[in-house]
Structure 1
Amino acid sequence: MKLAIFDLDETLIAGDSASLWLEFMVQHKLASAEILLQEQNLMSAYYQGRMDMSAYMALTLAPIRYWQPQDLAPLVDKFVQQDILPIVYPDARDRLHWHQAQGHTVVIISATGEHLVKPIARMLGVEHAIGIMLDSCEGVYNGRTRGVYSYQEGKLTRLQDWLHQQQLNPELSYAYSDSLNDLPLLEYADRPAVVNGDQHLRLIAQQRGWELLDW
């Protein structure tokens, strides 16, 4: 089995899905505009590799607290159709299709909540997706998360757990990401590729002979 691992935000799409989702929620008057400024302040730390993910998830999940998954799903689908599919990189689509044509197992893994990652993956034609797991109580989202965050080293932990659950043992793996936060994931892969990387990550890629892609 050959495995292709894709980060989502700024790798497959020209934007951040969680940030765009909050904008969508504000536009539909399902969240206060104040949340956008709070989220921007937290995101500035993400690009420096020091985000407080617990604080970020608490903030961004607050608007869907008390929602039932089946009620939220149509709204998420509308969001993906309207705001995500138009910003998918054409080169990213081509690379996804190439791996699928080769019979590779493709998985999208992101530090965004699974309520967004899984529908986005589905609409991109990707069967497997890993995101931060949302907690619920009596069938209702409670604004909390569960399990290991699929963030930094946690992405690799979640990937390995998923491979074990699926009883998969890749003989060759590819990984694509734009972010220094995904360095553990890129180091894990046999064929890592830096996509739209910043200067620091591009330098690491050049030093290690990794593929450099600009989408």
Structure 2
Amino acid sequence: MPDVTTTSAEAASDTVTHRGEAAFFDVDNTLMKGASLFHVARKMYQKKAFTMGDAAGFAWKQAKFIFRGENLNDVHSVQDSAQKLAAGISTDFVRQLGEEVYDEMIVSKIWPGTRALTQEHLRSGRQVWLVTATPVEVASVIADRLALTGALGTVAEIEDGLYTGKLVGEILHGPAKARAVQALAIEQGLDLGRCWAYSDSYNDIPLLTAVGNPVAINPDTRLRAHARDHNWPIYDFRSGRRAATLGLRAATGVGVVYGLWKGIAMVRRR
């Protein structure tokens, strides 16, 4: 039987081979179930940073996000609302909030399959970055907790340690993700033709096509069709695909509304 043991020299050689390579992961519905910003909003409500009406609006957008996938208008609506609500809040508060949100809400919603992919890339000597419209403070907490290389996220304007309610640049969404990754590649000396990108959303086609190895994870209908047409790998870590549950979606519409009401009521009691 041949000896298949990998020596330290061989391992080091393999790591050198993958220098200049990286894997980029979207967060919402790719790394975790649902929208991370919803959980930030929920935690902010618990800390009395905004009202029940604001919380209900976030909850409804979260339900739509889970059932129909990412929608550009919803992303901008949630982000705009969050920025306005964050005006005057300290950076220290948000940093602590991000830690609590991860421990109490996000960690249990991370797809084990996606996390395994991040770890495989790290073991292969590649950098692993999160690329998300989520505020960079929250994205960085997720990256740190998963021992990833780092995170690219939406950046909020700060003055004297307080958020102003404005953005620095643009929401990191759609083509903006591709531009951010291209800038990072120049900074880090990455060869994007040898890099990987993972997303669930058709809106991330610019990011996926910016690298040599695009992969669809839990894809929405349009991304699934695009991935098949272009022979991209498709991973689906959901317990049941939406394509097979159209009838269930209609049947559970009332259940979703009831669940939202119960969830908000539970938050109110807390």
Provide the TM-score with structure 1 as the length reference: 0.90
Deviations 1:65-87 (A, max 9, x none): 22221232122201111101111
| Max Rg structure | 2
Structure 1 position 149 matched with structure 2 position 168: no
RMSD across aligned positions (CA): 2.1
Aligned-pair distance for 1:59? 0.7
Deviations 1:69-122 (A, max 9, x none): 123212220111110111111111111110000001111000111121111111
Task: Supply the distance in 1 between the matched residues of 2:157 and 2:60 (Cα, whole angstroms).
Answer: 25
Task: Supply the distance in 2 between the matched residues of 1:78 and 1:48 (Cα, whole angstroms).
Answer: 25
* Aligned match for 1:196, one of 218, 222, 225: 218
Partner AA of 2:34 in structure 1 = G
Structure 1 position 14 matched with structure 2 position 36: no
Partner AA of 1:150 in structure 2 = L
Match of residue 22 from structure 2 = 3
Question: Which has the larger displacement, 121-130 or 44-53?
Answer: 44-53
Task: Supply the distance in 2 between the matched residues of 1:186 and 1:54 (Cα, whole angstroms).
Answer: 21
Task: Supply the distance in 1 between the matched residues of 2:70 and 2:192 (Cα, whole angstroms).
Answer: 31
Structure 1: 5+ residue stretches without partners: none
Structure 2: 5+ residue stretches without partners: 1-19, 238-270
Match of residue 184 from structure 2 = 162
* Aligned match for 2:232, one of 189, 210, 213: 210
Q: Is the CA contact (8 Å cut-off) linking 1:111 and 1:150 kept in structure 2?
A: yes
Give the number of equivalent residue pairs: 215
Structure 1 position 119 matched with structure 2 position 141: yes
The alpha-carbon distance between structure 1 residues 49 and 88, as it changes in their structure 2 partners (threshold 3 A), is closer
Provide the TM-score with structure 2 as the length reference: 0.73
Task: Supply the distance in 2 between the matched residues of 1:139 and 1:66 (Cα, whole angstroms).
Answer: 9
Paired residues for 1:30-179 under 5 Å: 30-39=49-58, 47=69, 49-51=71-73, 55-179=77-201
Match of residue 250 from structure 2 = none
Q: Is the CA contact (8 Å cut-off) linking 1:39 and 1:60 kept in structure 2?
A: no
Aligned-pair distance for 1:171? 4.9
Aligned-pair distance for 1:55? 4.6
Question: Which has the larger displacement, 173-182 or 51-60?
Answer: 51-60
Identity among equivalent positions (%) equals 24
Q: Normalized per residue, which structure has more strand?
A: 1
3-state SS of 1:51 partner: helix
The alpha-carbon distance between structure 1 residues 189 and 206, as it changes in their structure 2 partners (threshold 3 A), is same
The alpha-carbon distance between structure 1 residues 48 and 123, as it changes in their structure 2 partners (threshold 3 A), is closer
Partner AA of 2:37 in structure 1 = A
Match of residue 27 from structure 1 = 46
Q: Is the CA contact (8 Å cut-off) linking 1:4 and 1:106 kept in structure 2?
A: yes
3-state SS of 2:195 partner: strand
Task: Supply the distance in 2 between the matched residues of 1:16 and 1:49 (Cα, whole angstroms).
Answer: 11
Q: Is the CA contact (8 Å cut-off) linking 2:23 and 2:121 kept in structure 1?
A: yes
Q: Normalized per residue, which structure has more helix?
A: 2
Task: Supply the distance in 1 between the matched residues of 2:157 and 2:119 (Cα, whole angstroms).
Answer: 33
Task: Supply the distance in 2 between the matched residues of 1:196 and 1:101 (Cα, whole angstroms).
Answer: 23
